[in-house]
Amino acid sequence: MTAPSSNTPCAPTLDLQKVPVSELKGVGPKLAEKLAAIHIETVLDLLFHLPFRYQDRTRITPIGSLRHGVEAVIEGEVMGSAIVFGRRRSLLVKIQDGTGITSLRFYHFSAAQKNSLNPGARIRCFGEGRWGKSGVELYHPEYEIVGATGKSLEDHLTPIYPTTEGLHQARLRAMAEQALVMLATSKALPDLLPKELSQELGFISLEKALNYLHRPPVDAVLSDLEAGTHPAQSRLAFEELLANYLCLRRLREVADRHAAPSLQNKNSLTTKLQASLPFSLTTAQQRVSQEIAGDIARQTPMLRLVQGDVGSGKTLVAVMAALHAIDNDYQAAIMAPTEILAEQHYLNLEPMLLAMGISTVYLSGKIKGKQRTNVLQAMESGQAQLVVGTHALFQDGVNFSKLGLIVVDEQHRFGVHQRLALREKGNHDGTYPHQLIMTATPIPRTLTMSAYADLDCSIIDELPPGRTPVNTILTPDARRHEIIERISNACRDGKQAYWVCTLIEESEALQCQAAEATYAQMQQLLGDLNIGLIHGRLKAKEKAEIMQAFKAGNIQLLIATTVIEVGVDVPNASLMVIENPERLGLAQLHQLRGRVGRGKQESHCVLLYKSPLSDVAKERLSIMRQSNDGFFIAEKDLEIRGPGEVLGTRQTGLMEFKMADLMRDSHLQPRVKLWSEKIRTSHPELIVPLIKRWLAGSEQYGHV
């Protein structure tokens, strides 16, 4: 191992979490900058920056046994070297070892490199065998001149680390070796798992686990290490999941120490609402409404997540909760992630609540001038009893008179730090509003336990009677003309249809161009139909007018981008075509499909794909055809895409795990939850050190 630099502190009190990597030998400002780009700023970061695969350089393979596609260490004598010219200029070096001859080929080389590879020099190389002009060759192998006596081989598997441009593996390995020496000499990384936990689960110490993973012995099972299932990896993953869970529970404890208004169930407005409805609430809606009513009657802030599949009636449950607040002379706010969803909520709720004497206003970033001034005044004076809008509701300069309840729709677009921001915005003389968080994207239980451990959870697991499952059909783009004819026939029969345009680029402008091109084509082909176009670049008023016309049946075919993903409810729309569905995730496809099948007539969703499909795309579309169950689809989406994409890491503030994988390590979650509660009661002194070890610097988790 490389020894740590002489000026590196190694006292027993050393905190590796505070020792910058610049204290390691050979780490100057430029290298420190490159390390920071991959989130390595301290020695602890370096120790937790674990290899993603390993190479076996512990034995020499005879040249005669080299195989294509197999990595190997070979050693031999240089027979000669020459610069050769083909399609690319290269340095070709021939070596032999008595069992055979092979060539080393370098496309990037220096004169000094060529001069060092003289005939008779003994060289040891590592690389992957590939077919070349003279048989199996090594292209750009790592090599060293070993001399006649040779050098000892590695005594452990060689780690390969995640890296960035200009940061080579050899440099990372040298730094990791220094960090391990510092760890061994300072003993500055105490075990924070209780002894009884480690004994029960058979965990080795943290120091042993880190040493093993940076320098696995020759007999290590490579397949386990590369799958992330080795006991040393599970031990680290468990501790990280535990820290995450403890942090979220601590956030909840902080919230529970605050006061909240006690919103008593007076039943006045909720009874009036239910009497006005042409249907009864489902059993699941009634159960969840009762859970919410129990929460908001208390004097601590409710933090409840309500999950429900597409069309299960979450919005009605949210409105019932809002009426409880209004019945107690408090305001309620409903926040949605997109303007079109917020507008839909407002257009649906405003007339219904106005008939009950309730004042509802709408606020988004696009509302300007006098209209905005009037809305803000109504909110601040308390005249506005229900406020519907986008995240603009919680911007500076927006004030409520007496906010009792916040409803956040489509929780997967928001995250922990935004939940905290909402709580602070609603603070009124030390009293915080209740929070009801809803999602129509079912969240797998695995993620609920890790990402939403600070929330109580309710599930609306029942659809209203009369909802028919949507028949999903996969059709290649070559049969596009047949689908257009089918739409024409359906619309002439009095039905309505969506045609959804998608683009893989995250560009609203390009999506709008695609929708506009399809709109022009459909007007040519289906000129006798009333065709509408909606996309994110239209003004709010235009979008509202188009959706209203579609809902009223004045538009037969609606060409749209994915802005219609959530919140659009047109019972007569029974046919949807999703173009290029292979470009979307399962959850988004399920949301889009949920726009049809909302009436009693048979409904169809056509996934119009472009061939050839990748294996992942085939699997995704096959799942859509098999099932209408949002929770099953969410589990499959998690398997295929992983938690970061399912929840949208950047949007949600979900932590990026260093070691844990929520899918792979899901079997650990029940024990993480169990031991979290034991630590909270028996070892509370471990909570803050665990959180700081694994979540230091995570802004959204910093207020613990």
Percent of the chain past pLDDT 90, that is, above it, reads 46
Is residue 376 pLDDT above 50, yes or no?
Answer: yes
Confidence of residue 88 (pLDDT cuts 50, 70, 90): confident
Rounded CA separation 302/292 (Å): 8
| pLDDT at residue 338, rounded to an integer | 78
| DSSP labels, 573-634 | EEEEEEESGGGS-HHHHHHHHTTSS-SSS--EEEEEEPSSPPHHHHHHHHHHHH---HHHHH
Q: Is the bond preceding residue 612 a cis peptide, omega within 30 degrees?
A: yes
Average confidence score pLDDT of the chain: 85
Which two structure tokens, joined as six digits, stand for 526?
A: 């289906």
Final residue before a domain boundary, out of 627, 650, 668: 627
| Per-position b or e across 417-426, b if 16+ CB within 10 A of its CB | bbbbebbebb
pLDDT at 12 over 80: no
Domain end, chosen from 393, 428, 460, is at 460
Asked whether 155 and 1 are in contact (CB, 8 A), the reply is no
Q: Does 30 score more than 50 pLDDT?
A: yes
Q: Are residues 453 and 477 in the same domain?
A: no
Whether residues 333 and 389 share a domain: the answer is yes
- Look at 70 and 544; give whichever has higher pLDDT: 70
Model confidence over 616-662: pLDDT tens digits? 889 989 999 998 888 788 778 777 766 555 444 333 334 568 888 87
In this structure, the answer to whether residues 483 and 440 fall within a common structural domain is: no
Residue 692, exposed/middle/buried by CB under 10 A (0-12, 13-18, 19+)?
middle
Give the closest residue to 695 by CA, choosing from 334, 245, 379, 265.
245
| 551 and 615 fall within a common domain | yes
598 in the same domain as 531: yes
Domain-embedded: residue 704: no
Task: Give the mean pLDDT of 27-55.
Answer: 92
Number of domains the chain is built from: 3
Has residue 301 been placed in a domain? yes
Summarize pLDDT for 683-697 with one digit per residue, the tens: 999 999 999 888 875
CB 16 within 8 Å of CB 189: yes
| CATH at residue 409 | 3.40.50.300
* pLDDT (average), residues 276-280: 87
User: Does residue 539 share a domain with residue 428?
Assistant: no
**675 backbone dihedrals φ, ψ, rounded to 5°:** -75, -25
Is the pLDDT at 222 greater than 80, yes or no? yes
Report pLDDT digits (tens) over 418-474: 666 666 777 777 889 999 988 876 676 666 766 677 788 898 988 777 677 899 999
Q: Where residue 40 falls among pLDDT bands split at 50, 70, 90?
A: very high
| Domain identity same for 508 and 393 | no
Confidence band, pLDDT 50/70/90 cuts, at residue 285: very high
| pLDDT computed for residue 702 by the predictor | 42
Q: Which amino acid belongs to residue 558?
A: L
Q: What is the pLDDT of residue 114?
A: 86
pTM to 2 decimal places: 0.71
Q: Which of 83-87, 218-222, 500-504 has the lowest mean pLDDT?
A: 500-504
Note whether 420 and 487 are same-domain residues. no
What is the domain-level CATH number for residue 138? Answer: 2.40.50.140
Residue 579 has pLDDT above 60, yes or no: yes
The reply to whether 88 falls in a domain is: yes
Residue 9 has pLDDT above 70, yes or no: no
State yes or no: pLDDT of 704 exceeds 50: no
One-character DSSP codes across 228-239: T-SHHHHHHHHH
Classify 417 as helix, strand or coil: helix
Q: Which pLDDT score, from 0 to 100, does residue 645 have?
A: 52
The reported pLDDT for the residue numbered 507 is 54
Overall average pLDDT of the 196-207 stretch: 95
Residues 659, 50: contact at Cβ < 8 Å? yes
Which run of H or of E encompasses 380? Answer: helix 369-381
Torsion of CA 197, 203, 205, 208, to 10 degrees: -170
Percent share of the chain, pLDDT over 70: 88
310 within some domain:
yes
Does the residue 465 lie in any domain?
no
- My answer on whether 274 and 403 are in the same domain is yes
Using alpha carbons only, give the angle 552, 553, 554 rounded to the nearest 5 degrees: 95
Query: What pLDDT was estimated at residue 648?
Result: 45
**pLDDT at residue 567 greater than cutoff 80:** no
Mark whether 580 and 621 lie in a shared domain.
yes
Q: How far apart are the two ends of the chain, measured CA to CA in Å?
A: 39
**Average confidence (pLDDT) over 519-539:** 89
Whether the predicted pLDDT of 390 surpasses 50: yes
pLDDT in tens, 102-124: 999 898 888 888 888 889 889 99
Query: Are 434 and 295 part of one and the same domain?
Result: yes
The domain containing residue 373 runs over which residues? 268-460
Residue 142 · residue 127 · CB < 8 Å: yes
Do 454 and 490 sit in the same domain of this protein? no
The answer as to whether 289 is a domain residue is: yes
Does residue 229 fall inside a structural domain? no
Distance CA 235, CA 205 (A): 8
Q: What are the CA-CA distances from residue 550 to residues 287, 501, 569 (Å)?
A: 34, 17, 10
Reported confidence tier of residue 336, pLDDT bands at 50, 70, 90: confident
In a domain, 204, yes or no: no
Please report the pLDDT score of residue 3 as a whole number. Answer: 42
pLDDT confidence bin for 701, thresholds 50/70/90: very low
Residue at which a domain ends, from 582, 601, 627? 627
Write out the H or E segment, with its range, that includes residue 403.
strand 403-408
Distance of CA 9 to the CA centre of its chain: 39
